[in-house]
Chain A
Amino acid sequence: MSPTARRSGRRRPRVGVVKFASCDGCQLTLLDLEDDLLAIAERFDIVEFPEATSRRSAGPFDVLLVEGSISTEEQLEELLRLRRESTTLVTIGACATAGGIQALRNWSEHGPWAATVYPRPELIESLAMATPVADHVTVDAELRGCPIDPQQLLELLTALVVGRRPQLPDESVCAECKRRGATCVVVSQGTACLGPVTRTGCGALCPVYGRGCYGCFGPRNDANVVSLIANTAGLDDSVASTRLAGFTAWAEPFRSVIDDHGGPPGAKP
């Protein structure tokens, strides 16, 4: 039995879905599981999910799905409170697992930026950086992606019910491209692609349409970014920073490689 199943015993596990700094596309993925939604609702007691239900709860939760990065003081406090209220905390999406696109601001002082964007910048109170959830609390599992993949979400929920380890392989996007029979855009077109250093889970969505992967599932284990830039078509030192400074820029080793190439483009206003 999973820790969740053990603690919840015979009753349905209490599930919460919460959001910090994010677009809320990852939460929507739960609703996208149309065919399985009824089965999910039968097995889980969804007690907090503002996007989908007016039912509210401040906890406790057997499973908490957390979307979004931590960008403000209130978000940080709320996260710490939620961690205490939750048995199993799962981060969902690039914002929660890697900081998201908003983490690009971590390379600059956001004061001058706020001044150019907002008429009353003094009303903006942000933390110096937008950071992943795992920087602040222990995370029990993560679903990567921008947005997350519905099948991976279903696999996670199934693993929670069954008590097995979720089957979320840590391999390159290339593996999925080859299984699907997609032609490699790097080799056949010379198009830049982050697939070899990015964790799969998306089903190789972009390369199947002839577009290079832009790393939205974040760096995989053993990501050899240095070799990717030096040795693959479409990438070199002049474009490395631009290519890596995307939705998972703040995750290592993307972050260090961006640093080594002078930071993300346009870091100053």
Chain B
Amino acid sequence: MAQAIASTNVPRWLPADQLDRLIDVLRADGRTIIGPTVRDGAIVLAEIQGAADLPAGRGDEASPGRYRVTQREDSRRFDHAVGPMSPKRWTFPPRAPIRLGRRTSAGVRFSGVDPRPTPRPTPLAFIGVRACELAAIKIQDHVFLDGPAVDGDYRARRASAFLVAVECATPTSTCFCTSMGTGPEVTTGFDVVLTELDDGFIVRVGSPAGVTVVDALSLSPADGSAMKAAEAVVAGARDAMGSPMNMENVHEGLQASPEHPGWAAVAERCLSCTNCTLVCPTCFCTSVVERSDLDGSISTSERTWDSCFNEGFAKVAGGSFRPLVKDRYRQWLTHKFSTWWDQFGSSGCVGCGRCIAWCPAGIDVREELAVIGGVGPVPMPQLSVVAAATEAPVTISPGSVPAAFVTVHVDGSSRETADTMTLHLNTTDRRLLAGRPGQFVMATLPAFSAAPISISRFRSDGLDLTIRAAGPATRALTELERGSTLGVRGPLGRGWPVEEMTGRDVVIVAGGVGLAPLRPLIDACLAERDALGAVRIYLGARTPTDRLFVEEVGRLALRMDIEVEETVDRAGPVWLGRVGIVTQLFDHATWDGRNAVAFVCGPERMMQATSEVLFSRGIDVDRTWVTLERNMSCGVGLCGHCQLGKFFVCKDGPVFSLAELGPAFTTDGL
């Protein structure tokens, strides 16, 4: 097959007035053609009918916060850079239905959106795709197709897309692909590539599908002078962009500078309007919107473009993790240019410059990188994609994470406190039953948003979910009764490293509802009690009536082979137990933690205070494990909500060792 491409990969020549022949071949395949066209004062991407719709004789000029379409004397069609849209608009649309939830007499059911009028999306052909856009498509392919969770909608749209790329001749002053190593030459990821000259196009193929299309055109080979002219076009584009920036230190520089004054400075200008993220061809953050009928009996869940610049993006019941615009600007720039490397093995930026042109306040990321990120003045050779791994890469089988919601039955429920219930669920789903302590599920009802809920016990016939009613969605879950059904997706996330306990002392510290994800770990401790050293459990709660699993804890405390101590923050005169913060249970203890491993869950501030005391007891950061809470929308690492520095809390966590978290655990507003 490769040989077939090589032999037909002789550059061909397509006269300028025959461009429609190429378009017609693609149309005959049943494809809709998406290409550049002038509309409303910009060169946008839209459905086009033929070459006449292309912006002949039109160009563009762009600078921070300013974009204008220009008029030329010639009739070349592709002498412009990029407008506000990218192919992402079609491969990853602003709104895409992903799920249907229904209430029926038999219970709730969740399925892929059906019935679809056509089983697959309309096949598309993109004309005029730039090198930077091809790089962006490759980046999104990696995000959506190579991880443990695969985005089925993206996969279907991407598989049916035909890419006709075009070499850039006229970059604008906002283009910086040379600094990001993504252009201006088109080298890979295309089906057909055109290089435009005054009287026609040089045509080259890049895939078997491209071969088929170009063969159908029966073109003559391009001659030597045309090839020379083509080389000059690309060289000219490269020169026009000037010296590339040295991006070598940006990965380290950004992550090392969370307190840089530059963040506050740019936040004064930043409008947090989300324009930069929504024009960016690689940004992938989304939220799910429920479109339901008036009584919520049938609801379509729509995956919708969102942005880390929105305050609600990182918000949980207790408040926002990134309350200031400064925090959010830092998140975006650091993710795009630094932590993306840790997550996906490449930069997230392709140097297309859209975020610079389309920022109404005219913020230029290149300037911000120079101030904060340590971008140097010395030109760099073209960067190659390098995985900046800090530890051995984990083998991930794509699509190994459960993708669909299954219906489970509520066998009963127990009230733990005024606002917390434990639901006892029955299921035969093998994946749920094979979950591990510390994992969670996304739980949902039709017309409600899904919520991440800790699994608080595994049983042979089902599992327990302990839910605090923090808002309408979780409250609806706590109101479910025996016989009800709900949708559950999981088990998700990385659980407690149970194997670390063997042969060691175990310390478990739980605050408030933090005991819920620790209960399965306690179950595991008791199951292999003989293989462990001393087991010490320390519990804190707000008041005596806010304690979870009261009877069970009471029985645990009676056991001779484990130590259980409890305290509450305040109490009335009836309580005879301890009152004080949970660290007071062990800050004067005499046990030595050098052979101990600790598992902690509670409010983050409590976990920080606890880890300090544990450290002074001899339990080092590589033997202290915590579980984190963040705003989660998809729970599988595709929507971007739960990021903490380079980590996706839902996918890389929610359990982490303090050693791997490092400063991410204590930096404000990360």
Contact = CB atoms under 8 A, between A and B. Distances in A.
A122 to B, nearest CB: 48
A167 B360 CA distance: 27
Interface stretch (A48-56, A174-182, A240-248): A174-182
B67 A188 contact: yes
Given A39-B294, A162-B295, A162-B447, A182 B40 contact: yes
Interface residues of B, number: 53
B608 interface: no
A50 B325 CA distance: 45
Contact of B40 (A157, A165, A175, A188): A188
Contact of B65 (A163, A186, A193): A186
A232 interface: yes
Nearest to B313: A171
Contact of B357 (A36, A158, A187, A228): A187
B189 to A, nearest CB: 24
Contacts of A75: none
Contact of B296 (A162, A169, A193): A162
Interface in B410-464: 447-449
Nearest to B268: A227
A30 interface: no
Nearest to A158: B294
A233 interface: yes
Q: Which of A169, A193, A230 has the most CB of B within 10 A?
A: A169
B532 interface: no
B68 A179 contact: no
Contacts of B292: 158, 162
A180 B94 CA distance: 8
A184 B361 contact: no
B525 to A, nearest CB: 38
Interface of B: 39-42, 44, 65-69, 84-85, 89, 94-95, 268-275, 278-279, 289-290, 292-296, 304-305, 307, 310-312, 325, 357-358, 360-362, 447-449, 471-473, 475-476, 479
A175 B473 CA distance: 25
Contacts of A221: 311
Nearest to A3: B472
Contact of B94 (A179, A193, A230): A179
A8 interface: no
Contacts of B357: 187
Contacts of A136: none
B473 A196 contact: no
Contact of A228 (B44, B271, B278): B271
B472 A227 contact: no
Interface string A230-259: 111100000000000000000000000000
Contact of B310 (A36, A165, A171): A171
B449 A232 contact: no
22 contacts: A1-B476, A36-B294, A158-B294, A158-B296, A164-B447, A164-B449, A164-B473, A169-B310, A169-B312, A170-B312, A171-B274, A171-B312, A172-B271, A172-B273, A179-B95, A182-B40, A183-B84, A222-B311, A224-B268, A227-B269, A231-B65, A233-B66
